[in-house]
Chain A
Amino acid sequence: MGNEILTREERDLALKCMELALAKGAEKVRVTAYKSIMDLVGTLNGEVDKVTHCLDRSLSVSLFVDGRYGTFSTNRFEEKGLDAFLDQAVSLTRMLAPDPCRDLPDPERTAKDAVTGTELNLYDDYYERMTPELRLRLALDASIFGKRNGERWTLVSEEAEYSDSVFDTFLVDSQGLRCRHIETAFEYGVEMTIIDRKGNKYSKYWWDGTPMLKDLDINACCPKALDLAVEMLDPKRHRNGRTNLVIDTECASKVVSPLLRALNAYAIQQNNSFLMDSAGKQVFPEGLTILDCCRNPGETGSRYFDTEGVATRPMPIIDKGTVCQYFVNTYMAGKTGLAPTIEDAIRPKVLPWPRKGLGRKEILELCGEGILVTGFNGGNSNSATGNFSYGIEGFAFKDGRITHPIRDMVVTGNFLDLWSHLIACGDDARVCLSKLVPTLAFSQVDFSA
């Protein structure tokens, strides 16, 4: 069944859609057929609360007509409606202003190796054996409601969801592109809410997700979420000041994602990036290397092609502090004159520094004193300047050991300045996340409370 999520008829419809659009006057066409199936069991306090079954399909069409460009989609796969859909789409596209920068990617740049969709080993055959009974069993067995109590707290609520899903994408264009990607996902997430003896509530969330059911650490989630909630009891307001910042791997992408966004040609073209004119320059310290590990078989987030069908390539994004590439799709290449690359980072990975093997514990010891951030709560960054200000939750630490949870704190700074004070990049990124960012540590960071 692995190659029959999108059926032969549904894939043929994508091809037919492309041919029809060409017949109606489009010069070039790209069509993406997509299908996903998801089953979910929600539990509340160890009992079934919700069961959901989802089946989604879509047909997305990019039209290049008389030098103009439009994008259209529908979830109606009936062949009889396709004709009218495309008539309307071609007609609307003709009303738009011409844009010579719009084009399909050069066929030389597109993926040729994503044929069956399962080449990356992201499809678990076991998915086909999932039953409603098995899903219920997995969801219910993971619960620990009523099994753990504390002297200082009572568990108020355990709200969890188990889900399994399969996604199938089939991408074709009028220059001969044919790409396919199939992936299964098994996920479990739980939010634990506890109340202390003073009536204060604390909630924490933990989850795991993996393409293969056998790798899902489902039974660890509830205890972990509960432990995290208990750790937050009795937070204290910490003093203002400048100190070391350690960011837990669970949330460390918060200070990496803005760098990747700033390297996107859309931001560059709009003069809305704090990394303008940075390509080829060392603007970060030597300790920062980010690779795009986009083709690792069996690992969440791996892809052979982007949404244009351009072949992904494992390559450095930032190498020892030097910016290696912008993310430039075909359109932005035309707009900016930059060489086209890939439209975005697919599976970025921050490499360990100054040595391999560092986890949170070792990094806390390395830093000695400071604030460990385990979650961000609101805030924002300025894409043009790189200034940021985020609400945080976490712990104060001293002599490499956590002393107490903190509350009502914000961290404020500028990304370029923050990264210039890099102390360490850990070696502990969670593989279930599509951005592989480990525990990070920085010095001289401003905190307000």
Chain B
Amino acid sequence: MINDKSFYLDLFSVTENDLQQLLEESLRSGGDYADLYFENTSCSDLLLRDGEVSSGGFNIDFGVGIRVLKGEKTGYAYAESTDRASMLSAARAAALIADRNASAGCVGTRADEASVPKYKGRPNPAADRYPMLQDWRTCETSRLVPFLDRLHKDICARDARVIKVIAMLSSQVTDLLMYNSFGELKYETRPLGSVSISVVFQQDGQVETKSVSRSFRAGVEMLSDGLAEELAAKAVQGIDDRFAARRPKGGKMPVVMGAGASGILLHEAMGHAFEADFNRKGQSVFSDKMGRRICPEGITIVDDATIHGNRGALNFDDEGVPGQRTVLVEDGILASYMHDRISAGYYDVKPTGNGRRESFRYNPIPRMRATYMEGGQADPKDIIASVRKGIYVDQFSNGQVKIGEGDFTFFVQSGFLIENGRLTAPVKDINVIGNGPEALADIVAVGNDPTVDDGTWTCGKEQSVPVSCGIPTVLIKKLTVGGE
């Protein structure tokens, strides 16, 4: 962690006096809160295709986002240069939200709305959850290429059916400087490294694909021998089952979700409905259920920014609020939404550090970080053994949920039939559909194997942000499984 204020001020060519003046300009039209978000991001990637790392590149993104709040209303603008004229222009555009003249005669603008309280945070630094021992930006490409070459070699050596390997190494390093109208100054550098692999297998004319990925808030040091071995092993793991898998007969049946990556269902089907903006606007199925039981005792759901090196980890969010562990559901009771400053003001609670944004081009909104269910008491083997006829899913993809209705659909990438308490035939290419609140209420067993998956999960609610997800082995009494 770079803990040197002058590094960031110099990088963005501003002084603390400039920041204050910019804020004053932003608030000149009557806004009651403003913040500045300076960002310098370097992304790079290397791509292995057909056995060689033959393409790569990098991208530089630099700018400042300026937000003005008037009550719950948001004015937002940004500049891709930090010269004074560009920043002032953006500040004036954002200030329009509070400009009575610009909205004159427009019935219904809430220019007179009373301001909502805004939480004041703590000074920098809040934590150091992702130290970067070796900066991606200063690492020679020649040191990174062998990692991908090794992966390719290892994967091909593990299974003769491999016909294509695409492997990508991506890194992103972001320098941030934030300043707000409380006078809070925050600054840090956030790393994010990812390795994604897609493998095509062929057997007797049949083609199957498999993808695997790992991502961490860490520097080049994450490219360890252990990571390469884990990825290569996972890239070919279970491929026999994939070739043998068939679509099962559909219907309503018990569904066991395997520990780890199945947590994406928790993220999509329940997590989004806990985001405070959907609740503030009355759109979420949970908008009138705070403090009420929404699922059986023993179920606790957490959104966590504090996991060291995790893809969803944050020292502080993109509003400068400290990253924290937020219990959303405690022992079956809805305990908290995920808040940014606006929703926290609306509900008169402290923000939970969930105000996130894709880049300086976006205003922050409530977003998840690492969302997972805590472990229960049951042995995962006993959970499977308790099902006479059902389905076990260990990998979902392409989930979608309707926030208002709570209805979700998830594509099953891999799983098994459960027959008389045993995993039998592998299954694929089917959907599991249900309703988030109903599925939560229908959980009848929670395993003692809580696992957070370290894949390259990216949440796409209006903007893309890195997240992670997790779940222990869980039995849902009944869900609809689409099949033949």
Contacts and interface: CB of A to CB of B under 8 A. Distances in A.
Interface of A: 42, 44, 46-57, 68-78, 85, 88-89, 92-93, 95-99, 102, 132-133, 136-137, 140, 143, 156-157, 159, 191, 193, 195, 200-203, 240, 270-272, 335, 376-380, 382-385, 387-391, 393, 407-412, 446, 448-449
- Interface size class on chain B is 35 or more
B76 A448 contact: no
A270 B210 CA distance: 13
Contact of A71 (B57, B93, B409): B57
Given A51-B93, A379-B431, A387-B429, 11 more contacts: A48-B103, A50-B75, A51-B76, A72-B57, A97-B53, A136-B102, A156-B282, A377-B401, A377-B433, A378-B410, A408-B433
Given A51-B96, A448-B250, A380 B402 contact: no
A446 to B, nearest CB: 7
B106 A140 contact: yes
15 contacts: A50-B363, A52-B77, A54-B77, A69-B54, A77-B80, A89-B57, A95-B140, A96-B46, A136-B106, A203-B405, A270-B166, A271-B202, A383-B209, A390-B409, A412-B430
Interface stretch (B114-122, B229-237, B329-337, B476-484): B476-484
B398 to A, nearest CB: 4
Contact of B74 (A50, A78, A202, A384): A50
Contacts of A143: 108
A132 B363 contact: no
**Residue among A97, A137, A388, A409 with max Cβ neighbours from chain B (10 Å):** A97
B7 interface: no
A76 B407 contact: no
B250 A76 contact: no
Contacts of B450: none
Given A49-B73, A70-B57, A133-B102, A95 B145 contact: yes
Interface string B105-134: 111111000000000000000000000000
B109 A47 contact: yes
Nearest to B403: A203
Contacts of A140: 106-109
Interface in B389-405: 397-405
A378 B409 contact: yes
B52 A389 contact: no
Contact of B142 (A53, A73, A95): A95
A389 B53 contact: no
B200 A75 contact: no
B437 to A, nearest CB: 11
Contacts of B434: 408
Given A76-B62, A136-B102, A378-B411, A51 B97 contact: yes
A378 B408 CA distance: 7
B142 A271 contact: no
A97 B408 CA distance: 44
B214 interface: no
Contact of B79 (A49, A52, A55, A382): A55
